[in-house]
Structure 1
Amino acid sequence: MFSPYYKRSGRGDPLDHCALNVALYGPQHRWVMTERPRGAVARDAANLAIGPSSVRWEGGELVIDIHEGDTRLFVPWQRRVVGRVRVIPEILNRAAFALDPAEKHIWHCLAPCARIEVEMTSPGLSWSGKAYLDHNRGAEPLETGFNTWHWSRAHLRQGALVCYEGERGDGSLFASALRFDAKGVPEPVELPPIARLPKSAWRIERRTRSDIGVAAVRRTWEDTPFYARSELASRFLGEEVVAVQESLDMRRFSSRPVQFMLPYRMPRKRA
């Protein structure tokens, strides 16, 4: 949905603009988002192959095989990014939610709580921990439906909490908080107070929710001209939590400077 090539094409054929996005943070930082055309994509009900990488369901686990090269500004060669990621859902949710009255934008939190196992051979990294799995789909460009959005989620002692809010393209506001219980059943809960956060280095406005209206940025993982991803210390439903937070500004995304810069961050292969 962030492809500059797809945007320029008039969004005619989404299968002609596919990419696997991999972001490794820390000393061994890697960024992967190489777009490939329809001829390099294969899919069926349980499998998706994009070039040499693939995503598939295997025995109730989501298995992601990564065979890519990273992208760095002003560096013409790529470092190999190779490994396998397993996402093992602990609870599943069958309900999807519309983010707009016309139901043109749908969000589905498939696994509010999951485990992850990462085995990378290049760079040599491995770890396991908590995870989360969702997806979005839409019937119109994201920048048409939304000006901004802020999203955050946190594991609780039982289940998880997800907060979603922002401004739609028509200027109307939306906000919701969903608690997923230990069986994955979603239930709307009262929105905690707004907890404003410092703007990112690119001056993206960040926002989350917290029981006491206060949260702190522990780390900023991704900081771009239109998108920021952060780790927060917050409080939800009486629990001290570590939350993942994302803020997106689609007006920035649509601007000419950002559209000019995106191909350097997201190269495209012809085959």
Structure 2
Amino acid sequence: MDGVSDDGTQAVSVIAFIGSVFSPWYRWSGRRNPENHVCINVATYGKGGRFSMTDRGASALRQSPDNFTVGPSSLTWDGERLIIDIDEISSLPLVSRMQGQIVVTPSALTDVELPLTPRGTHVWRPFAPTSKIEVDLGNGWRWSGHGYFDANFGTRALEQDFDYWTWGRYPVPGGSVCFYDAVRRDGSELAVGVKFTDSGETATFELPPKARVARSLWGVRRETRADRGFQPRQVKPMLDAPFYARSLVETRIDGHVTQGVHEALDLNRFRGPWLMPMLAVRVPRRARWRF
């Protein structure tokens, strides 16, 4: 789940994991037991933004058809809204409690499932590409804006099937547009653009050409889709890691200039063992939890 404030100055991202794919502890475990490496990752962007990603053991996990709980935080579907209750401790350099609630209200739910590989080892499920979001996490983090929530499912590690991918979601009149581009390990490519209406239906959409975005601070290559001749640009930096960049990017689609959340993931870098000790500093392991 990602969201951006109406004035564009603040943003938030929440990712719930079973088998925390970016956790060094999960990789070091041999990925044998996904339910023993669960996490609700929370990141806020803007002045005073913070980051929390704690790898927790199986004792912290509780699930039901309408609820997903990991330790002190949870996601609950009430039939119309996704309610995210947060109670986490952020990592360095701003170590503090992140506590409050995020409410995501979709304009509609979709029925789209997109396999990202020919064998279906990775699947993208865009539940609600067009949503309203309300954030109340204290310390000046109280705002409303636009957002979305989706899910990715996989039976193999990302770096086993992909070398690189980019993803972007942009609000457009009457709905949202999502782009998914990837280079697979076998050299084949994924190139998908989907336009979702406010009612959750997909609309016919001609895929615009790729356009480069300036590299991130860590030098991660970035690209998105844009009308021919338009140069996309980063409007706001969000998460910047040696293998991953998330940012607010401005592009033009069918003549409409829009700003949306964009990510680029370099799996060749992520594949390297040198990265795992660095990630362990930002992703602590808490194996035990008691409700």
Length-normalised TM-score, structure 1 = 0.95
CA distance in 1, matches of 2:176, 2:140: 31
- Alignment match of 1:259 (pick from 261, 276, 289): 276
Deviations 1:59-109 (A, max 9, x none): 411111101100115x8xx31110100001112101111011111110011
Deviations 1:149-195 (A, max 9, x none): 01111111101111110101212111111111232112452221111
CA distance in 2, matches of 1:104, 1:40: 27
CA distance in 2, matches of 1:59, 1:190: 33
1:129 CA drift (Å): 0.7
Asked if 1:109 corresponds to 2:129, the answer is: no
Counting only pairs closer than 5 Å after superposition, residues 1-271 of structure 1 correspond to structure 2 as 1-72=21-92, 78-121=95-138, 123-187=139-203, 189-212=205-228, 213-271=230-288
What secondary structure, in the 3-state scheme, does the structure 1 residue paired with 2:275 have? helix
Q: Once the two structures are aligned, what percentage of the paired residues are identical?
A: 37
CA distance in 2, matches of 1:218, 1:191: 23
Counterpart residue type for residue 122 of structure 2 = H
Contact (CA 8 Å) 1:229, 1:245: kept in 2 or not? yes
Counterpart residue type for residue 192 of structure 2 = S
Contact (CA 8 Å) 2:72, 2:88: kept in 1 or not? yes
CA distance in 1, matches of 2:62, 2:109: 26
Counterpart residue type for residue 167 of structure 1 = V
CA distance in 2, matches of 1:8, 1:125: 35
CA distance in 2, matches of 1:35, 1:113: 29
What secondary structure, in the 3-state scheme, does the structure 2 residue paired with 1:21 have? strand
Contact (CA 8 Å) 1:163, 1:178: kept in 2 or not? yes
Change (3 A) 1:32 1:144: same
Counterpart residue type for residue 109 of structure 2 = L
How many residues are aligned here?
A: 267
CA distance in 2, matches of 1:131, 1:89: 9
Deviations 1:98-130 (A, max 9, x none): 011111110011001000011113x34200111
What secondary structure, in the 3-state scheme, does the structure 1 residue paired with 2:278 have? helix
Contact (CA 8 Å) 1:177, 1:188: kept in 2 or not? no
1:36 CA drift (Å): 0.6
Contact (CA 8 Å) 2:123, 2:152: kept in 1 or not? yes
Counterpart residue type for residue 82 of structure 1 = Q
CA distance in 2, matches of 1:111, 1:172: 28
CA distance in 1, matches of 2:56, 2:140: 26
CA distance in 2, matches of 1:44, 1:101: 31
The structure showing larger relative contact order (alpha-carbon pairs under 8 Å, at least 6 residues apart) is 2
Unaligned ranges ≥5, structure 2: 1-20
Task: Tell me how large the CA RMSD over aligned residues is.
Answer: 1.3
Counterpart residue type for residue 222 of structure 1 = L
CA distance in 2, matches of 1:125, 1:161: 27
Counterpart residue type for residue 178 of structure 2 = V
Which deviates further from its counterpart, 42-51 or 211-220?
211-220
What secondary structure, in the 3-state scheme, does the structure 2 residue paired with 1:60 have? coil
